A and B are shown apart, each in its own frame.
Chain A
Amino acid sequence: MPFYWTLAIIALLCAAGYVLGRRKAVASVGGDKRRLHSLPNFYGMNVALKGAVPAFGLLVFWLIAQPLFVEWRVSSIVSDLAVSEARDLGLVMVDVRRVADGLDTAVATGTMTASEATDIAAGDGNVRERLGAAGVALGSEVSEPVLRAAQRYRALSSTGDTLRSVAVLAVLLLGLGWAYRETDGEFRARNVVEQGVLALLLGAACIAILTTLGIVLSLIFNTIEFFSIYPASEFFFSTTWFPSFGGGSSLGILPLLWGTLYISLIALAVAVPIGLMAAIYLSEYASPRVRGIAKPALEILAGIPTIVYGLFALLTVGPALMVVFGDGGLGWMQAGTAVMTAGLVMGIMLIPFVSSLSDDIINAVPQSMRDGSYGLGATQSETVRQVVLPAALPGIVGAILLAASRAIGETMIVVLGAGAAARISPNPFEAMTTVTAKIVSQLTGDADFSSPEALVAFALGMTLFVLTLGLNVFALYIVRKYREQYE
């Protein structure tokens, strides 16, 4: 039974359960709703919830567990093959899955009958060609064990799918039936339903934890796998980044970190003075009218997607810099994509980020401190520099750290604007590359996820995650620790 039908049946039966439960409750008190414990709707909701929640729970669990189970059973078949051919088990499983998908497609497009697909052997008929005819390209000839495993994979999957529908529907009916039986005028439906809804709300809130968990686990597992085939010391301390998919890559993170930090530094050098001065002017000097125009105008910059900045760097800022610093001008720059290009544009992107955060912080400094300073005869700028800024400093440092974390994690600007060469050089007009740009380039395309060249992206992601998280936690710590408490 197709997946969508299962969903539709669940929805339909729950709706029916709602109507029936409500009707039974009303009928049990002879139609006098005042004698019910709860409002009639709660009885209906009780039935529907007790049907839907376990059924959906089982469905989700099954969807996650079935592929794991099938994988485990099938890999026990092919593990001998992997040992005999000295190949990686993961790679063989990729083949198996591809063949199984190919058989599915072949059946779906009608180039193979269903029974053919389950019985075909590598010996009879050219499997690769027949799958190719169905539009499934296979890299190499299909060997007998792989084909067997693929057929087993398909059989297990289809049995699993059938079992899933049956089990989910059984749970659904059990839940509905149980709730329907207990429905009765005395039943405290509201309390039960509200408890259930509260549990659902808690579940929704826990998705944030699950997301973090998902990020951390997916990074950790793949990073561990990467370090099992590539030495960690090489990764952290090597100064060459030269991936080659044929093997023999050297994957040192240092050039990427250098590029990342260099670009972020330039971005901050642009964004911090402009953003901070803009914030000071807007909060201390500007009339409400100027503020009303300038603040939203700056914030438009924050709402523009990063791909736009990327294109701006590639096609406007890069060529403009080439005119000044390129061969026609000072001759420092070889191509439009460079650290400077990406840094400048990223700086523009960060201006509103720095300015609106600093603005909030400066506004939080109490007016009495300014008044005290004016009373002593200080000018407005002296007040800002000697009273307001020191008072706001922890917050501003926090804002700058948050901006730095944004700069380090920014992807599209560096992918388009910074170039692709991984090198360590002090010249800001040379092309360099960053951690994020390399994550993109290592993971796009048809790499399989078992080569070090693809897995390195997870190690890079882990580094990035730790770096940005660390900066954020540090920023919060500084703000908390050094914050002045005003009354």
Chain B
Amino acid sequence: MNWQIELRRISKVFDERVVLRDISATVTAPGAWTILGPNGSGKSTLLRIIAGLLTPTEGEVLYLYNGERLTAHQRRQSVGMVAPDIALYRPLTALENLRFFARARGLPVRDSDLLRWLERVQLRSRAHDPVASFSTGMVQRLKLLTALVHRPSVLLLDEPGSNLDEAGMEFIRETVREQAQHGIVIIATNDTRELGYGEPLVRLGA
């Protein structure tokens, strides 16, 4: 397996404000990388561009598998992402959220499998509760599961440790370690606890 992501001269301008200027980098699986920088430096914007949620003003992001460029559909099937501004369906339960994202990605899921997944993040006992009743830390753990349910080759994490207790942080560390053994992890952070998760990929200024 040979996964590669190439960022080619990425720039992003919102109205007249330049957020990213001429960013180029390449990551090859397996491994974990970090995007570093203070608040407002464009880390989340760059991660959203890598995920395909934003179009760069200039430049492009290439997803390659064994040298072949992936289609938009293949990229969607290969990427999982967790970010503070990406929400779950609050009126639905944890199990219903997980079931929806699995089915939407074409996975033939059984509830017994999903309940085992919820067990991994200590949410098995809250499987049938609406997400609206969850603490922010519990929501963050559930977001991680929905990003991992299709076993993505590329995992993008934007400040993954925010609102997590030590047990939650341990789950993140374990997930990053596992993912980095066979795929790609890119983490946008300025949290000192997360700096050691991977090699610095890009360091953005304010």
Q: Do A and B bind each other?
A: no
Interface residues of B (CB under 8 A from A): none
